[in-house]
Structure 1
């Protein structure tokens, strides 16, 4: 049975992704900052018939928490097949490039960018033991420099001084990571599940968490000849072509 770790997975898209992967027969580690809340979520899932899901305490901003989670996965599985860096945050809208504080920007970067790197580096040892390792970095169309430079883009006026650059850096890290792992079985991609109705955006998005999770899984459970180091966005196109960075 393949194993997957999803960070920030106790609600919204992360939770739905965990549910769908569980239904596909994977063992899912549901990463959560609050273990008690995570366990409560898992208990509800079990009542609904979901199997092979375990809550694991994981705060991507805290090195000790990440290493402890890695230790648990190593002891229980011996390896990790899939890492989905889903944990993310935003300080809200609007965010001016002229007035947003460095403190706010650093807080967002600590979760969205540094957190993804911290978890990836910590779990690399376990991922290398998998025959088909996959790393999916969950990003946003708001992290595309090309789109943000195009006045005709429908979200052109949504400029967030911390969230936008944090996701642009996640995209950059995806390229770097894929390059370093190009001669291995790894597939590393940035995946934008689209503008989805979640707590993150006060349920303003038109997409559903079910469709968003399915899109993430489509570009995660990929064959050996699948692309790596690419950016796929549900909002930009149907996922058959690489999206603009």
Structure 2
């Protein structure tokens, strides 16, 4: 029986690390855990040493378009396929009204949150084709839901994620064998989530990393090809685009 192979970006902390940790208890599983600087990803290396799953820490920087190609070549050589790609890496670093948001912030968020998943999919789609259940997951946000219209000043972040959501819709449309969906992970008390919460006048973000990662893994495990592309929250509720 061949191993189930995962590739997770932004895996050295926050939601990404929590996902790796959640999957690490599974045998016959290989997890390629992306980090900008693998040598400094201490927590991942420590987890790897005691994990039932095989964890391979790889260099993946969302701003480096070569990194996903190099990782794809490594996975091709070592595993021959990938079953699940989770585009988790992202930034949310500016909070303010639209009238005051610099264009440079839109560009910065687009470079990581939109171009990152595009390059990742372009590098890995051939490996996904070799899977019996190819799954591409985008970590998105209700801040990118026009339907929901959350009352937070996230123009740059939300715009970049709306564009990324459209990328997921194109994957669904162009690859009828693939399971592709976007998922809102909740307002998670990761470093990034808590920084945002503080900017919004909150003490901390309300959702735990354990809740988030458990919900996302459940969505992946139970995922199936849908007639229309889905935007879920981590509890399995359908969100409006």
TM-score, L = length of structure 2: 0.89
1:79 is displaced (CA, Å) by 0.9
Q: Take 1:83 and 1:43, find their aligned partners in 2: how far apart are those partners?
A: 20
User: Secondary structure of the residue that 2:181 maps to in structure 1?
Assistant: strand
**TM-aligned CA distance change 1:180 to 1:89, over 3 Å:** same
Tell me the alpha carbon deviations over residues 108-143 of structure 1, each in whole angstroms, 9 at most, x when there is no partner. 111101100100111111111111100011101111
The gaps in structure 2 that reach 5 residues or longer are: 196-203
Contact 1:79 1:127 in 2 (8 A): yes
User: Secondary structure of the residue that 1:219 maps to in structure 2?
Assistant: helix
Q: Take 1:88 and 1:64, find their aligned partners in 2: how far apart are those partners?
A: 17
Contact 2:26 2:53 in 1 (8 A): no
* Structure 1 residue corresponding to 2:179, chosen from 163, 175, 187: 187
**In the alignment, what sits opposite 1:177?**
171
Q: Take 1:174 and 1:20, find their aligned partners in 2: how far apart are those partners?
A: 24
Written as runs of structure 1 = structure 2, the 5 A alignment for 1:1-245 is 1-25=3-27, 26-38=29-41, 40-93=42-95, 95-148=96-149, 156-182=150-176, 184=177, 186-202=178-194, 204-224=204-224, 229-234=229-234, 238-239=235-236, 241-245=237-241
In the alignment of these two chains, the number of paired residues is: 230
Contact 2:142 2:148 in 1 (8 A): yes
The gaps in structure 1 that reach 5 residues or longer are: 149-155
User: Secondary structure of the residue that 2:6 maps to in structure 1?
Assistant: strand
**TM-aligned CA distance change 1:108 to 1:223, over 3 Å:** closer
User: Secondary structure of the residue that 1:202 maps to in structure 2?
Assistant: helix
TM-score, L = length of structure 1: 0.88
Over aligned residue pairs, what C-alpha RMSD do you find?
Answer: 1.7
User: Secondary structure of the residue that 1:30 maps to in structure 2?
Assistant: strand
User: Secondary structure of the residue that 1:16 maps to in structure 2?
Assistant: helix
Contact 1:177 1:188 in 2 (8 A): yes
Contact 2:82 2:130 in 1 (8 A): yes
